[in-house]
Every structure is written in structure tokens, then in C-alpha cells.
Amino acid sequence: MKYIYDLKFRDFKKAREFSRSLKLRNKKGWDEWCQKNIHSKPKDIPVVPNLAYKNNGWINFKDWLGY
């Protein structure tokens, strides 16, 4: 059985603003934050942003988190 998910993520620049507002210092911090906040994280912010925004603005986690 195949599952198809229609995920609608926030615009890259707005999502990046959100991620930078968390003041995290690295990918490990991002992963930990996502895990701890799985129920309160906005649904339009991807847990794996490097895949979600691969061809739509993604550079690296340093850029994503702004450190």
C-alpha cells in the first residue's frame, strides 16, 4: 500500500526566519529541538528542511539556522 502525503510547507524564507529565531547553533540542536517539540512545532515547518527545500533556496544548516 502506498501513502501519498500532501505536505504544504511555509515559504523557504519565512521558514528560515522561524528557524533562526530559535537561536540554535547546529544541526544537532535543530534535530533535538524538533524531537522535543514534535507536538508544538508548526506543521508547516519541516523536520528535514534540507529535503523539503532542496531545490527551493536550501544552502546548508549554517544558513538555515543563521549561525
pLDDT at 6: 64
Across the chain, mean pLDDT equals 93
**Could you give the CA distance from residue 27 to residue 55 in angstroms, rounded to a whole number?**
19
In percent, the amount of the chain with pLDDT more than 70 equals 91
pLDDT, one tens digit per residue, over 14-42 is 999 999 999 999 999 999 999 999 999 99
Q: Which helix (H) or strand (E) holds 34?
A: helix 27-36
| C-alpha cell of residue 7 | 505536505
Domain positions in the chain: 24-65
User: What's the confidence (pLDDT) of residue 41?
Assistant: 96
pLDDT classification of 7: cutoffs 50, 70, 90: confident
